[in-house]
Amino acid sequence: MAHSLRAATFLIETRVADAAMGNINALYELGVAYSTGSDGVDIDLIEAHKWFNLAALSGSALAQQCRAEIADDMTAREIAEAQREARAWLAATETERRAA
């Protein structure tokens, strides 16, 4: 159990760092991890939608498809929360990139 938690933490931390630098694949991989529970990550459709949305905004057609598929299993309120989180992440990382 502790190993899978470490693996999940490592996956999330490294992908988020890559995503913050504009890596579209990292955005998509975060969506996959949260939507499927891969690598010990807990399934969280709001987080999955957020990351797929960010990847889709960056040009990933596959992320657009995945976002649409999981949206079918979400409420309008959950989708709105995911969109708010995506906007907040974009605003935060844009500020960080400008400061660097």
> Can you give the residue ranges of every domain in the chain?
2-99
Which ranges in the chain belong to alpha helices (H)?
A: 2-20, 24-36, 45-57, 61-71, 76-99
Q: According to the model, what pLDDT value does residue 99 have?
A: 56
**How confident is the model over 12-70, as pLDDT tens digits?**
999 999 999 989 999 999 999 999 998 889 999 999 999 999 999 999 999 999 999 99
Find the Cα–Cα–Cα–Cα dihedral 4, 63, 92, 16, rounded to 10°: 30
Query: Higher model confidence: residue 19 or residue 8?
Result: 19
**How confident is the model over 65-86, as pLDDT tens digits?**
999 999 999 999 999 999 999 9
Q: Distance between CA atoms of 52 and 10, rounded to whole angstroms?
A: 20
pTM across the whole model: 0.89
